[in-house]
Structure formats: structure tokens, C-alpha cells
Amino acid sequence: MKLLLKSLITPICQPHWLADLIFAAIRFICGMLLALDFGASKFGMPWTPEGQNLDLFEVAAWFPQDVATYGGIYAAMPVFFAWMGAFSEAVGGLFLAFGLKTRVAAFLITCTMLTAIFMQKWGMGTWGMLPAMGFLWVALYNLYLGSGRFGLDYLLAKKLSPAKS
């Protein structure tokens, strides 16, 4: 089990620390935007971007209704998929930003962004799909690379490694 955990969290470090720093900056900015701007609104926050106060039920109910319109399995379990999408964006975005369980968070974000692109944004053209596509690309390279040397996974992987004598 420890070996599986170690293989999931051990990042691939770039030959030069500056490349890792650039990847970390991109990872942090995208993760925070995903968590705070896209994910938080799906948890039923009682505000809108325009500053209008809405009834909490009205705000919390819009996302499962949107998910149900995708049809198929999404229509059968819209609340489950809505919560999974909101979780992967909000919590996964925070994990991605701080480089904690980066590959797991990136996998969840990848699944959510593919769903968003193909089930929600497809008919809107490339411009409408652009935010989801951007998060997808960031998630895909973090799925492969992990957090790099500027993330919590790097520190955890070092702690799990046997001390060299």
C-alpha cells in the first residue's frame, strides 16, 4: 500500500528548478481559479457575480438540474454527479493548487472537464469550451508530472523515502 501511495504522489522533477517553478505557478493559479471561481458557485453559495442575493435553495438547486439535462446516467443520478463535479472543481482545485495528491485531483478534474466539454459546452463552439479546455490541459500535464518539486506531494514523497546513509 505504501508503494502504491508513493508511486501516486512522487512527482517528476524537471532538470532545472525554474521549469518546476513555472509549472507550479500555472498549477497554483489554475487550481485557485477552479476552486474559488468555478467550484464554489456549485456548492450553493448565497451570492451571484452580480451581487444579487438569491434564495439558498434556488442557488443550490441549479446545478443538479443542469446535470440532469445531460441525459443518460446523468439524468438518473443528477445530484450525485453534481456533487462529484462540484467536489472535483472546488476541493480538487485546492489540492491541485497546493500540489497535494496532485495526480488524484488531476484525474478528477480531467473527468469533470471532459464531461463539461462534451455534455455542456459542445454546442457553444470553441470559445465557449475554452475555460474547460484550459483546465483540462493543465490537469492532463499534472496527471503525468505530479506536483514537481514545489508542491506538498514532493515533501510527502521525500518523507516516505527511506533515509539514505
Q: What is the pTM of this model?
A: 0.84
Query: Is residue 50 domain-resident?
Result: no
**Per-residue pLDDT tens for 74-124?**
999 988 999 999 999 999 999 999 999 999 999 999 999 999 999 999 989
Residue 165: pLDDT over 70: no
Whether residue 47 is predicted with pLDDT greater than 50 in this model: the reply is no
pLDDT of residue 59: 47
In a domain, 85, yes or no: yes
- Residue 3 placed within a domain: no
Range of the domain at 30: 9-42+56-160
SS (H, E, C) the chain: CHHHHHHHHCCCCCCCHHHHHHHHHHHHHHHHHHHHHHHHHHHCCCCCCCCCCCCHHHHHHHHHHHHHCCCHHHHHCHHHHHHHHHHHHHHHHHHHHHCCCHHHHHHHHHHHHHHHHHHHHHHHHHHHHHHHHHHHHHHHHHHHHCCCCCCHHHHHHHHHCCCCC
Domain assignment present for residue 108? The answer is yes
- Residue 133 forms part of a structural domain: yes
User: Is 1 contained in some domain?
Assistant: no
Per-residue pLDDT, averaged over 61-71, amounts to 85
Residue 49 lies in a domain: no
